[in-house]
A and B are shown apart, each in its own frame.
Chain A
Amino acid sequence: MDFFALAWLIPLLPLGAFVFITFFSPLYRSRIISGSVAIVAMLIAVVLAWGILFQAASAGFGAGSESHAAPAEAAHGEGTVAEGAEGEGEHGGVHFEGFGGAYSQSIAWAATGTTTFNVGYLIDAPVALMLAMVTLAGFCIHLFSMGYMAHDEYPAGHERQSRFFSFIALFTASMLGMVLADNLLLFFICWELMGLCSYLLIGFWYFKPSAYRAARKAFITTRIGDVFMMLGLFYLYTQAGSLTFGTAEGQIFNPALLERLHNQTTFFGMSAATAISLLIFMGTVGKSAQFPLHVWLPDAMEGPTPVSALIHAATMVAAGVFLVARTYPIFIESETALTVVAAVGAFTAIFAALIAVAQFDIKRILAYSTLSQLGFMVAALGIGGWVAGLFHLLTHAFFKALLFLGSGSVIHGMEAAVGHDPNKAQDIRNMGGLRRFMGVTWLTYMIGYLALAGVPFFSGFFSKDEIIADAFGRGDTLGYVVYGTLSVASLLTAFYMTRQIMVVFYGPFRGFQPRPVDPQQDYSEAVPVETPAHDPAHSPAVTSASHGAHDSTAKTYTTHATTAAHGATAHDTHGGHGDAHGHHEAHEPHESPWQMTVPLIILALFAFGAGYANIPEVAGIEFPGQHWLSHFLQQEAAEFNILVAGIATLLSLAGIGLGYAMYRGAFARATDLDPLEARMPGLFRILNNKFYIDELYAATIGRFTNWFGRGLSFFDRNVVDGTVNGVGVGSLLLAKINFIIDDYVLNQGADNLAEGTAITGDGLRQTTTGKIQDYGALIFAGVLLIALIYLYAF
């Protein structure tokens, strides 16, 4: 069976699920059927994707591969340009033979004035790997959603669950389409659709103002990055004449083209390659939430938890990294761009790790952890560790999807104890001792934790170690800086994850006496608004009105109709209304149903085992499948440095030990102070408030945009229109003078003649039409005058 030829089905299956669920109402009405359709579609996609991976691994990419790359690339490899060859040499020996072999198919989609854009797919080694990862993680998340979305959020019917499945199916389809795209335009189309889906999914509980704001923030922030990326594509298009991946003439990785981009100087003395790379990288900064566009990702936790797993582990954020990996041949042409990439990545890694230390929301800790880990990947790409970056992308997708789903399971269990209030159910201070209630969740979560913390023999250890080793192995300043930064970040990672584990799964269970919601920590309200804030939904009157309604409706919310007003009261609860959920308190946290635990187990297997795809050579011992990933990607295997690996292991263990020591006995009660806060209140506050970046943006960009819009509106109303109205009044005046002259000077003799038409004339003069004609004549005269001036002037 030729899986390559069937690859087009992979994105079309979830897309088909989306279309069917959305447009066929029998499916739409039933949660079970709509969910099953999406899950089955994903299951088939998993089979196809893994079939592709095995076929690629065993048989290569077939005859199609030679036609693409080899001859053209050979010339480049010989280094016709000295700098080009040197540049490659410096980047840890990354060689691009047009991505190894590739299999591609395409059909014409749309023309432009000069060329035609195709829609097609291209499978090469990184694509096969990504497909396998995305489909598998996507399948697990779909299955998990079946259990997670089943609870009583939407009593009046199950339409919203169907919508949820249609959205995540579309999301997965976009991601898969993006991975398979054979040109940057299709890549960009899928990329944008993913942005749209993230908006729909983060804002899925749209009746929560916080969810809506988070969705809008995510959409607009990533879109800012997208604009730059789009400009990068235009630039590339004007240079290359197409946006097709490949090394042949007229394709974007054509050696002659890359050489030209390398040598051509453009704005601010940058080379064209630098400009294009940086513009494209801005897309990554938005999508993969790198500093300074990282602000959307933590807020995006407002979406349902499976969405967090999908967006923040397996798909959307991975897309940004994948973009750089995909267009890497262009990045390689620019030392400057790679340095920027490395710097942004390393900074984000440590910046986000620091913030994660001081968060209390279980999902937000994971969100900042995601930022930090994405920083690792981006930094890896920046220092030339292409394989390491991709490797970490894959392992991270598994263990982070596992952690997010695990946190979903935790929240699901917690809701039995504290009710459906995210401020309570997600606050780690209200948890504790959950190990005893949720065995499977605990066990799988621990695997994810050990992988993320970088404990040896878990997947995260291998991939992170490879990044760090690559940085160290560069041997230049940038390498050492990145090495140092990432090492500290991995210490912090181990620390904050240990903190989370200790507080969530060990110690006493504190959920029966949850913390009162601190307005400072009330995430649903603390999110600053980045665009005009005159959204009346937040006006005090409305909020208090909904609170008033809350008391009377919340107790019966399992049966009332889902009007938005009611929905808002059920979810957007605030301090002081917690007792409305009193009927929950009798329950202990419970383990989740099989639809939720099975995905956890599957992901846990991969979170543990994915690292063995690229195990290094240690002390000359041969393992089967050693460096498999590097070979598969046709890159040189990274050298294993026992010193670097040892230091990294020690740092991880130190972080774990520190976390254990500090949080072993912390939080006897939910209201206790964090041990770190007790020791360093000032620092803790800054970290807890995420370095006040959100506030900074709201005060600068947000306010400016708002003010600027109003200012221009004022200008338009008063200056532009004022001028027009002024001209109107002036013309009227002129017309009157005209009329007086006409009437008294010229018209005297014709008085008698005019008398017959006087009545009609008077009538006409009163009407607006009469005035219009006057104006028109005057204007016309004026224009004629201008025309005459023109004629004489030229």
Chain B
Amino acid sequence: MNLIPAGVLPNLPYLTFIWAIMLVGAIIIAFLPATAKNAMRWTATAVSFISLVLTLLVYLAYDPNGPTFQFVEQANWIPSLGISYFLAADGIGIAMLVLNGFVIFTGSLISWNIENRVKEYFVLLLILVIGVYGVFMSLDLFLFFVFYELAVLPMYLLIGIWGSTRKEYGAMKLTLYLMVGSAFIIVGMLAVYFGSGLRTFNMIDLANFRPGFSTRFQYAFFMPMFVGFAILAGMFPFHTWSPTGHVAAPTAVSMLHAGVLMKLGAFGCLRAAIWLMPEGAQMWAPVIISLTLLNVVYGAYIAMAQRDFKYVIGYSSVSHMGLVVMGLAALNPISINGAVLQMVAHGVMTALFFAVVGRMIYDRTHTRQLPELGGLAQVFPFAAFLFIIGGLSSMGMPGTAGFYAEFNIFMGVWARFPLVAILAGIAIPITAAYILRVIRQVFFGEIRNPEFLRLPKLTWQEKTAGTILATLVLLLGIFPDLIHPMIDRSVAPVVQRLDTARQTLATVGNPLLGNNPSVQAQDGQ
């Protein structure tokens, strides 16, 4: 935001610090005696807080008028293969880093009640977060992939050991899906590596080399790369891992998972697929956007038919992440800006949802069946308040983060695919319907179980975490420009590449449309 002028911060590798502090935390926890549970919790919270502060520093120091990538750190890693340790942050990455910082900090607070294998839990959680942080700052495709895998794999254990409801199934399904994604990504990665002829994984080089990837190459390899990441973003028909996984995961993992991990997928789509292969993106956009339309509407309808509280949130994530990918696939500045804003908005909102549903409610009532809940606003008025704030954002109410994000996505999609925008509009009243229904059934109405009145009150950790997330939802809703300029700064170059690609395609032709330039030209009008 350029609030810290250049030169004030000492020149240090801040990005490395961000993930390294988590590693330090993990090591400390690993060496603590198994009985020192509180020490572990405090350590995890403390390192998360430090990393959050570091991300905020980076956010404040980023200059939206400067170069796209700032805080560059580059060192050779495996020079013979063209692999380097190359970190840098752009506006999109910083938005994600800050989001991740908030989610892991609140997630650590929310994890306070874990009693079983505390040490392993926090170590895995922190390793997961290292991976997430790393992805958002890597500019070397190989490093990017390494971090990506680091983020995905601990999830299996976290869900499998500390989860609930059908946790083995959920963990297995999630891991398998994500491995399918990884396989696709590896194919794309290797194709890019060999196809460019540069023998480098440096993404800036890959994006800018001349003459660039051929149209046919992009046609062939855009999809593996995109789909590989889109699986993690929950794109139809590869979405079913996500509700099952969310339901099975322990609360903090759900928060990270829905809040940040799914954004990792969308981020990958943008960074590795759309940025590197803009012509491919242009060619495949109609296909992708049709699939995301299914996500949006289909997810909303299914959410409405659920009886399990977490499934409602899980499917709402499918619907909202569909909006993110839809925004990306409309390939214009407004929609991509909207998509990134929605990534942040949904991340905060859904973390808040899971904090309320998983920790504040399920861990106390031990049921998530909507018909068994009711009247909880009397028991936990604050939880009701938090959930309502999240719900309003989910419905896209002005004054919450969701509004401006959705507005931009729809506006951008309308500009390119009006019909898709119209059909996706169906999801808006449906979303309102299921959110209102859930709020009503869980928090208002009659208390169905008198035992609920005797449930323990919210702890300070829960209140703190909830307050932070709810404040963010409102803050981003009232002042979207807190993050928008830097996002816009980083979306602009991508859009420029996309526009060039579109012009190229107009002359070369789109193989998807029978490789006929004239057909493409008509389509363009």
Which A residues are closer than 8 A to B by beta carbons?
A: 108-114, 185, 188-190, 192-193, 196, 199, 206-207, 212, 216, 219-220, 223-224, 226-228, 230-231, 233-235, 237-238, 531-532, 534-537, 542, 546, 563-565, 568, 705-706, 708-710, 712-713, 716, 720-721, 724, 728, 768, 771-772, 775-776, 779-780, 782-784, 786-787, 790-791, 793-794
Contact = CB atoms under 8 A, between A and B. Distances in A.
A206 B410 contact: no
A776 B301 CA distance: 32
B437 interface: yes
B183 A779 contact: yes
A568 B446 contact: yes
Contact of A223 (B428, B440, B485): B428
Given A192-B403, A216-B436, 8 more contacts: A112-B408, A193-B397, A235-B414, A535-B441, A537-B440, A537-B441, A710-B305, A783-B187
Contacts of A219: 432, 436
A790 B191 CA distance: 11
9 contacts: A113-B332, A219-B436, A234-B421, A563-B375, A565-B375, A705-B430, A768-B160, A772-B179, A784-B187
Contact of B488 (A111, A206, A710, A786): A111
Interface in B466-496: 479-481, 484-485, 488, 491-492, 495
B302 interface: yes
Nearest to A275: B418
Contacts of A720: 237, 239-240
B302 A112 contact: no
A255 B290 CA distance: 37
B197 to A, nearest CB: 15
Residue of B399, B407, B481, B488 most packed against chain A (CB within 10 A): B407
A536 B179 contact: no
Interface in B414-456: 414-415, 418, 421-422, 425-426, 428-430, 432-433, 436-437, 440-441, 444-448
Contacts of B446: 537, 542, 546, 564-565, 568
B71 to A, nearest CB: 23
Given A196-B392, A224-B429, A787 B237 contact: no
A532 B488 contact: no
Q: Top 9 closest A-B pairs, CB basis?
A: A113-B333, A709-B305, A234-B414, A189-B398, A783-B183, A713-B305, A113-B334, A110-B480, A227-B425
Given A113-B334, A724-B173, A787-B191, A794 B433 contact: no
Given A564-B446, A716-B302, A776 B240 contact: no
B437 A531 contact: yes
Contacts of B508: none
Contact of B440 (A110, A535, A724): A535
A113 B306 contact: no
B13 interface: no
B72 interface: no
Interface string B49-60: 000000000000
A216 B429 contact: no
Contacts of A227: 425-426, 428-429
Nearest to A226: B428
Contacts of A708: 301
B291 interface: no
Given A235-B414, A568-B446, A713-B306, A113 B180 contact: no
A216 B484 contact: no
Classify chain B: how many residues form its interface, as a range: 35 or more
Interface stretch (B104-112, B121-129, B214-222): B214-222
Nearest to A221: B429
Residue of A233, A234, A546 most packed against chain B (CB within 10 A): A234
A517 to B, nearest CB: 22
B306 A193 contact: no
B193 to A, nearest CB: 13
Contacts of A772: 156, 172, 175-176, 179
A220 B429 contact: yes
B220 A794 contact: yes
A728 B168 CA distance: 14
Nearest to B228: A783
Nearest to B398: A189
A749 to B, nearest CB: 31
B301 A712 contact: yes
Contact of B333 (A114, A531, A776): A114
B375 A564 contact: yes
A108 B301 CA distance: 37
A783 B374 CA distance: 48
Contacts of A780: 179, 183, 186
A238 B334 CA distance: 11
Contacts of B412: 113
B70 interface: no
Interface in B188-224: 191, 216-217, 219-221, 224
Residue of A109, A227, A228 most packed against chain B (CB within 10 A): A227
A534 B428 CA distance: 21
A565 B440 contact: no
B378 interface: yes
A189 B492 CA distance: 27
Nearest to B333: A113
Contact of A536 (B172, B441, B485): B441
A771 B237 CA distance: 24
A568 B335 CA distance: 46
A113 B429 contact: no
B425 A790 contact: no
Contacts of A192: 397-398, 403
Contacts of B398: 188-190, 192-193
Nearest to B511: A794
Nearest to B425: A227
A369 B437 CA distance: 31
Contacts of B433: 216, 220, 531-532, 705
Contacts of A112: 333-334, 337, 408, 411
Contact of A238 (B301, B415, B485): B415
Interface in B18-40: none
B305 A231 contact: no
A549 to B, nearest CB: 10
Interface string B313-350: 00000000000000000001111110000000000000
B371 interface: yes
Interface in B95-140: none
A207 B411 contact: no
A776 B180 CA distance: 7
Nearest to A109: B481
B145 interface: no
Nearest to B223: A790
Contacts of B421: 231, 234
B1 interface: no
A787 B223 CA distance: 11
A570 to B, nearest CB: 13
A511 B34 CA distance: 75
B491 A113 contact: yes
Nearest to A279: B422
B237 A537 contact: no
Contacts of A230: 407, 410, 425, 428
Residue of B334, B370, B485 most packed against chain A (CB within 10 A): B334
Nearest to A222: B429
A713 B425 contact: no
Contacts of A790: 220-221, 224
A234 B410 contact: yes
B404 interface: yes
A776 B411 contact: no
Contacts of A793: 220
Contacts of B448: 536, 542
A758 B156 CA distance: 26
Given A235-B414, A709-B301, A790-B220, A193 B399 contact: yes
Nearest to B428: A227
Contacts of B495: 113
Nearest to A793: B220
